[in-house]
Amino acid sequence: MLDQSQIDAFHRDGVIVVPDVLPPQVLAAVRAEYARLLDGLYEGWHREGRVPTPEGRDFQDKLLTSYKAGCDWFQPMDISLPGDAVTPETPFHFGPAVFDMITCTRLLDLVEGLIGPEITSNPIQHVRLKPPVGDLHKDEIRAHVGGTDWHQDRGVGHEEADGTTMVTVWLAITDATVENGCLQAIPGTPQMYPHCPKKQTAIADGCLDLSQARPLPVKAGGAVIFHPLTPHASLDNRSDRFRWSFDIRYSVTGQPTGRAHFPDFVARSRANPEAELRDWRTWREMWQAACARLSGQPHIPIHRWRADSPSCA
């Protein structure tokens, strides 16, 4: 659980760094699950002649080799459907280790200290695998692969959730340092800024005093926890290794999630424990059903901002 000083700091600054959130066995299981997933993807690309032999290549080497070859591992590894068009073949990943991470008792204890005991796993969630900046494709615009522009998490959901009580938990799977592109934030700015559809959805120019930004390094297994109005961005990854994290959210059960066309689930309920989802297969089936449903519908934008608004002119 968070102590009172951490809770006070969160409400004052809108962000806290908490070490040692994920138990070692949970962290190891996530790494192993993704290694198996990448092994399967890489072997398929090798059979197609797109990448060299997998022998002697570790997880990071396979990531970089396939990225340079133009093979997309991001969407098959992501824990969400994409923000653009969805087809029946759109890949994604929902496995037992990731489910155990999202429903980890220690993690939910921290969230309960900030938003209360009725906790929904919010569907705005992603894996983030950041290559070294020198290896990024020149046309790379995905925030979950390249750099992340300044934004607020409330700003990248639908307006119906602007009153929802939620937190973002950014979980480090590898150490996040200033060198390899950890997050940075501007504490203590609890107001909604206009956003613009730039390279990504980003806070409009001129709104922020970037001299107040502070880096947020955290060791593997630790977390950065954000209020949805806290402006944040990532630094460039200037190391020679990938920086790996997950970006997940929790909101108060019964309140809008900000992305109603994606499925959520009750992660904890003190009032009604029977409502909690405990089977990762059901979680996966919920997303499979959403994929099937959305592939037959017109595209639903994931945010409300327009390039022709006065703030973006």
What is the C-alpha separation between 127 and 152, in angstroms, rounded?
A: 18
| Helical segments of the chain, H only | 4-13, 24-47, 59-68, 74-77, 96-102, 105-115, 280-294
Kindly tell me the sign of the dihedral angle through the C-alpha atoms of 17, 20, 23, 24.
Answer: positive
Q: How far is CA 221 from CA 26, 72, 75, 199, 214, in A?
A: 9, 26, 23, 30, 21
Q: What is the pLDDT of residues 181-237, one digit of tens each?
A: 999 999 997 799 999 888 788 999 999 999 999 999 999 999 999 999 999 999 999
Indicate the pTM of the whole model: 0.96
Percent residues over pLDDT 90 in the chain = 85
**Is the confidence at residue 57, as pLDDT, over 90?**
yes
Q: What is the pLDDT of residue 145?
A: 86
Neighbour-count burial for 76-102, b at 16+ CB within 10 Å, e otherwise: ebbbbbbbeebeeebbbbbbebbbbbb
What is the overall mean pLDDT for the chain? Answer: 95
- Domains of the chain from N-terminus onward: 4-26+72-312 (2.60.120.620)
Residue 306: per-residue pLDDT: 82
Average confidence (pLDDT) over 40-50: 98
DSSP conformation class of 204: P
Average pLDDT for 110-133: 97
Higher pLDDT, 146 or 287: 287
pLDDT exceeds cutoff 80 at 313: no
pLDDT value, residue 308: 82
